[in-house]
Chains A and B, each alone.
Chain A
Amino acid sequence: MTIRIRELSKVYKLGVERVHALRGVDLDIGKNEFVAIMGASGSGKSTLMNVLGCLDRPSRGVYELNGKPTHRMGAAQLARIRNEEIGFIFQSFELLNRATALKNVMLPMIYSRRHWRSARKRAKAALDRVGLADRMSHKPNQLSGGQRQRVAVARALVNEPSILLADEPTGNLDSVTTHEIIELFRQLHREGQTIVIVTHEEEVAANADRIVRLRDGRVLSDHPTAEDPIHRRWLAGAAAAAAEAALKEGLAEGAPA
């Protein structure tokens, strides 16, 4: 198992008040899985992702990444795990505006023990992999939203992480660019990458092979995409809508000019 989570809970303290963001989550994710995490706003998706990405530590429970008990690690060790085993993609890209695409992608290797000598070569290869070979010397403000997210994906990939985590990676993108980014994820998945993404859109989740739904910090359901009842209902609705649209288009074409 790449990811093994048991009885994971996370409590935020706000003064005297306690917010239970996660209440005993069990989850296993294997190598080369493509998992979509869904749920209403406030259900704990981001909290779970932050724990998966070793950005945050659980209040209780077990999180093993590739067999290593991360819940027992200190700040420096977690930093190393983040650098070497995790690629994190943010909704708002989080690129350095002063630096070119290439420099942005090289950033994780500055902090790496292994790859810093070959940083430039690896960064170029990663940008090539996300289809931005011709945009390396552009700064983020000279790139479109989709291109920016591709740079962020390249940055996440550059240290060859065992898991790629993306918290609403298409949340800031229009439908065309969303499609582009999802296509990129599919391609990476085909190449063997383990991927976990958080999304609100069934359309995006449709590309994953498994959907985990959260509610109030608990796992509500965990099904292969094709068997997820909510997703099947959405598919049916989408098919109907498509048929209706085609019908309207047909009518429009048939109408006199």
Chain B
Amino acid sequence: MILVRIAIQTFGLALGQIWANKVRSLLTTLGVIIGVASVVAVIAALQGLRATVLQEFEKLGAKRVYIDGTLPRSQWHSGRWRDVQLKIDEVKAIRDRCESITSITPEWWGSYAVEYGDRKVAAAQTVGIWPTWHDIVGRQVIQGRPFTAIDDSERLFVCLINDKAIEELDLPREPVGEFILLAGRRFKVVGVVETVQLALFGGGDTSTEVFVPFGTAQVLNPDGWINDAWGSLASPDKVGDAKAEIGFVLSKMRNLRGGDEPTYQIEVLQQFIDQFNAMAAGITAGAGGIVGISLLVGGIGIMNIMLVSVSERTREIGLRKAIGARPMVVMIQFLVEAVTLCLAGGAIGLGVGQGLIMAIKAIPDSPLKDASVPAWAVLLAVGFSAGTGVIFGMFPAIKASRLDPIEALRHE
């Protein structure tokens, strides 16, 4: 009871002392300030980065599954990439037999010259797709219409372009109905697809894209490969089922046995999120190390100033003991002073950290625009600084509590 009362009184007195010796207190707690500011800034920055990354994944679609043929590392010399590419039958089999995949589209990639009038793009990225592509990939058709089943089955010479293509080919602002030359053949533009800007995943310099029905793409290049396929999950938590089902179908069609390495890969966005989280944890641990060191340095600063304080105030300690302060009470007094000093440093550190975050957020197009200091980071900072005070204030406090009153009073 008496200890609690003394702790509270000392806290008030110590705050007053800190205020009275502003510069000295600031210098003393510099280590704690830097430690807390950096931990707060790093945590807030990671939070902001995570928010941005999750938004990007959101844009990409959390339900999307990516399927691709791949050579296992052990076969890089012996095998041929061509042999492990997805076949259209395989894509159809997945479509028909995998319950957890609601729709799928192959992607048949090519690169052809595109011309309109006297404008020409030498190597435009061209993708052959099924009409299901629209729902799976989720890119909006901002003018005209999406592909239909007839476009594909009749192998019509129709195409979708992105808005970058309008610019690069100098097409009219409303290009639907215009004809462009793709690989030397006339294609009718039936729609315009939005260009998706991704800040983190290689966006920004998107150029002309042309989409054609899958069937038509096979006409353009009968020897082409299906480079990959995108599927859509029935729901995001069906990831495990989907992988098992696709794996089962492909293994069977490729005659793979139990021990064989798969010649395909199935990626889900959740994996990228997991990878990002692992990276974030790594950064946090690294930052934690820096923070630990600066708190150690800060703590030693605190210990030093407390030792100085104990020796400066030896007579005062002697007097306090002479008028009845128990050793425990003296110890609590000095401990509370150290903790108060550290907490003040922690508070300033929080402010500095917050300021850093504001500065980063103010940078235009910052990927950290959503950075903010979460409540638990504030608690963490407070806990860290109080802990530093207790640990490094303990030795000086014990020293003060053990002073002999008579000798202390005789001290000059």
Contacts and interface: CB of A to CB of B under 8 A. Distances in A.
Judged by DSSP, the binding face of B is helix
Contacts of B5: 116
B90 interface: no
Interface stretch (A107-115, A170-178, A180-188, A223-231): A107-115
A159 to B, nearest CB: 8
B9 interface: yes
Interface stretch (A49-57, A194-202, A207-215): A49-57
Given A76-B326, A108-B323, A110-B325, 10 more contacts: A55-B405, A75-B327, A79-B325, A83-B324, A94-B322, A107-B323, A110-B6, A111-B324, A155-B323, A159-B324
B147 to A, nearest CB: 84
Contacts of A80: 324, 326
B399 interface: no
Given A79-B321, A82-B323, A111-B323, A96 B405 contact: no
Interface of B: 2, 5-6, 9, 315-316, 318-329, 405-406, 409
A55 B321 CA distance: 9
A76 B316 CA distance: 18
Contact of B328 (A76, A82, A110, A159): A76
A88 interface: yes
Contacts of B322: 53, 55, 82, 88, 94
Nearest to A80: B324
A233 B296 CA distance: 69
Interface string A36-69: 0000000000000010010110000000000000
Pairs A-B, 6 closest by C-beta atoms: A83-B324, A108-B323, A79-B326, A111-B324, A82-B324, A76-B326
Interface of A: 50, 53, 55-56, 75-76, 79-80, 82-84, 88, 90, 94, 96, 107-108, 110-113, 116, 155, 159
Given A79-B321, A88-B322, A94-B319, A111 B327 contact: no
Nearest to B17: A98
A164 B328 CA distance: 26
Given A55-B405, A56-B406, A94-B315, A110 B326 contact: no
B313 to A, nearest CB: 9
A96 B324 contact: no
**Which of B318, B326, B327: most chain A Cβ within 10 A?**
B326
A122 B406 CA distance: 27
Nearest to A79: B326
Nearest to B6: A110
B319 A83 contact: no
Nearest to A46: B406
A83 B323 CA distance: 5
